[in-house]
Amino acid sequence: MKVRVCFHNRCFDGACSAAVFSRFYREVVDPHAEFFYHGLLHRAGQLFEEDIFDGDENVIVDFKYSSSPRLSWWFDHHQSAFLTPSDAEHFRQDRSGKKFYDASFRSCTKFIAHIAATRFNFCAPELEEVIHWADIIDGAQYSDPKTAVEMRDPAMQITLVIEGAPSNDFVAGLIPDLLSRPLREIAALPHIRQAFERLYDQHLKTIDIIRNRAQLSNGVVFLDLSDQSFEGFNKFIPYYLFPESVYNVALSRSTARIKVAVGSNPWNFTPKDANLATICERFGGGGHAKVAAISLPPNDLERGREIAREIVQELRSSLQ
């Protein structure tokens, strides 16, 4: 049995979701299944290639829904899980018992573990570490910003490597390790350690760039990083540097897309009435109520700047 597992790429929760689903499937459905992993990224335009679902069973975890008749299993926890109203209706009409959605879960990994336990009597205590850290990382449930930014825990070090993966296939190759090794062993693997040290050096430089570039006004940090050589960065840096900030909006650019990332400070207890996913949905993006993003074509920088400025103004107005 060939099982194609599509997961949110360059995302710790996405990789852990694929790992937990694979263990569940092998123990509950087919012990002889052969797994093939494919990372998915949010981008402008079509998200799913026509030939992506080439398995005997095809799975999506921690990513948007597809109404393809070849999709067998689906798990997601994002508010913006459906590309179109027709996709949402297609999901509601599904009677397979293999497609699950709940936006109240902080991580898709924990959601899959919950469904596997309550619906299929699946239990894998050896995966508790992965489930625990995926929920902390994807749900931003750190005790303080130092934990999120200084990266002393193996899970945080692996997350930095996953988010800065040198190729689209890198994270797929890491999923078998997440199934079979403690996180401290994975973090100590030579290729992981080498990647971490390189990326951590860039991380420290990024902290300095953000310190110098950030524009903080009325509780909102705005960052235009579109002239830098990186798209992603640790999203908690603005709150580490500016604990008085409530929201942050960051514009970045890569060869694949223009990205507008919007987040909220989990350690600032100012009431936050803005639903960031709903805001980003207006521009074709989405995510969660507390963290969301928009992807635009890579040549649409000025449009990205317009959107970022509009969102910054909206968020600053919401705090007045």
We report the CATH number of the domain holding residue 268 as 3.10.310.30
Number of structural domains found in the chain? 2
pLDDT of residue 73: 98
- Asked whether residue 134 falls in the same domain as residue 222, the answer is no
Domain finish residue from 138, 171, 205: 138
Residue 260 lies in a domain: yes
Band (45; pLDDT cuts 50, 70, 90): low
| Whole-number pLDDT of residue 146 | 94
Residue 226 clears pLDDT 70, i.e. is over it: yes
Nearest CA among 261, 258, 151 for reference residue 202: 151
Q: Is 292 exposed, middle or buried (0-12, 13-18, 19+ CB in 10 A)?
A: buried
pLDDT per position as a tens digit, 157-209: 999 999 988 888 999 999 999 999 999 999 999 999 999 999 999 999 999 99
| Average of per-residue pLDDT across 68-77 | 97
- Do the bridges between strand 291-296 and strand 258-264 make them parallel or antiparallel, or are there none, so unpaired? antiparallel
* Residue 193 domain flag: no
For residues 30-40, give the mean pLDDT.
Answer: 97
Confidence of residue 43 (pLDDT cuts 50, 70, 90): confident
Same domain, 112 and 27: yes
Identify any residues that bridge with 260 across adjacent strands, giving them in sequence order.
251, 294
Structure tokens at 130: 């992965």
Given a cut of 80, is residue 244 above it in pLDDT? yes
Residue 50 scores a pLDDT above 90: no
Domain boundary among 120, 138, 156: 138
- Whether the CB-CB separation of 284 and 291 falls below 8 Å is answered with no
Residue 39 pLDDT greater than 80, yes or no: yes
Query: Is the residue at 100 inside a domain?
Result: yes
- Summarize the confidence of residues 295-310 as an average pLDDT: 96
Is 42 domain-assigned? yes
Confidence band (pLDDT; 50, 70, 90) for 305? very high
Same domain, 127 and 36: yes
pLDDT of 113 reads 98
Predicted confidence (pLDDT) per residue in 111-152, tens digit: 999 999 999 999 999 999 999 999 999 999 999 999 999 999
Q: What is the pLDDT of residue 166?
A: 83
Whether residue 25 sits in one domain with residue 115: yes
Q: Are 112 and 21 in contact (CB under 8 A)?
A: yes
Tally DSSP H helices, then E strands, for the chain.
12, 11
Q: Is 209 exposed, middle or buried (0-12, 13-18, 19+ CB in 10 A)?
A: middle
- The CATH number linked to 38 is 3.90.1640.10
Residues 120, 233, single domain; the answer is no
CB neighbours of 215 closer than 8 A, spacing ≥ 6?
Answer: 221, 222, 223
Give the end of a domain, one of 138, 157, 185.
138
Per the structure, the complete domain to which residue 55 belongs is given by 2-138
